[in-house]
Structures are given as C-alpha cells and as structure tokens.
C-alpha cells in the first residue's frame, strides 16, 4: 500500500472514531436530559430528612428551622418571628425551582453563613422531588 493509501486509511479511521464520539456525546446528553419527572410522593419520603427541623404546619408554627408552608415563590427569611441568620436575612433569594435546588444541594454553599447545618441533598432527582412535594403540600 502506498503512503497516500495509508494516509487515506488513517483518515477514514479517524473520521469513524470522530463520528462515534459525536454519537456517544449526543446519546449521553439525551440520557441526562431524560431524567424522570419530579415526583411529589417520592419527595414526601425525602422530606422526612427535612422534617427533623422544618414543618408544613398550616398554623405557621416553626421548629428548629422555619416553617416551609408556602415557601415556593416566597422571599428568603420571610417567616415572621423566626430567628434567621444574618446571611439569610441579607440574601435576596426568592425561593423558586432553581434557588431551592441550589440550596437543597448544598445549603452552606448557596448561602454562606446560613445556620442550617444539613449537608444537603446531592441527587438532583431528590431535590426535584422535594420541590414538587413542597409545591403540592406547602400551599398556604
């Protein structure tokens, strides 16, 4: 085989692997974006970790942490008479899907100086499920 033939063969092999790499990347991004929808029933189970400090009590009663009834779309540090950290009071957070997910994932990173000692929920599915649960069961 001539040198030119070898170069063409190498080019075909390189293009084949490039194509397979692109297909693999596309398949991976499709799989990642095809996460199961948020499940409030599963969120109720995960919320049990939160219930050690937080409640959804309709009377508004707080525990060690603030009451979370109506937390979705509420400004941070808005529960009357709850002793929030200065960091939480100074934050301009409004609790929506994105801000709740970030806080649930790593509270001390999302709001440095927060009093919340919980390490967080590292799994995005758990975060989404808890948020769905709060939306469904935390209405005022």
Q: Do residues 55 and 16 share a domain?
A: no
Tens digits of residue pLDDT in 36-79? 899 999 999 999 999 999 999 999 999 999 999 999 999 999 99
Separation of first and last alpha carbons in the chain:
78
For residue range 2-47, what is the model confidence (pLDDT) as tens digits? 555 666 655 655 555 444 444 444 454 444 456 789 999 999 999 9
pTM comes to: 0.74
Domain containing residue 4: 1-34
pLDDT given for residue 100 in this prediction = 98
DSSP assignment letter at 36: P
* Domain count across the chain: 2
The per-residue pLDDT for range 78-127, each reduced to its tens digit, is 999 999 999 999 999 999 999 999 999 999 999 999 999 999 999 999 99
Based on the fold, state whether residues 79 and 120 are members of the same structural domain.
yes
* Backbone φ, ψ for residue 94 (5° rounding): -115, 125
User: Do 56 and 97 belong together in one domain?
Assistant: yes
Residues 77 and 121 occupy one common structural domain: yes
């Amino acid at each position: 085989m001539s040198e030119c033939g070898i170069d063409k063969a190498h080019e075909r092999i390189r293009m084949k692997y490039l194509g397979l790499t692109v297909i693999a990347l596309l398949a991976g991004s499709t799989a990642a974006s095809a996460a199961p929808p948020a499940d409030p029933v599963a969120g109720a189970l995960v919320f049990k970790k939160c219930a050690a400090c937080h409640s959804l009590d309709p009377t508004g009663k707080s525990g060690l942490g603030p009451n979370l009834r109506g937390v979705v779309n509420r400004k941070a540090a808005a529960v009357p008479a709850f002793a929030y950290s200065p960091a939480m009071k100074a934050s301009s957070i409004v609790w929506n899907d994105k801000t709740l997910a970030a806080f649930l994932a790593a509270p001390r990173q999302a709001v440095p100086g927060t009093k919340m000692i919980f390490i967080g929920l590292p799994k995005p599915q758990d975060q989404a499920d808890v948020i769905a649960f709060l939306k469904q069961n935390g209405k005022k």
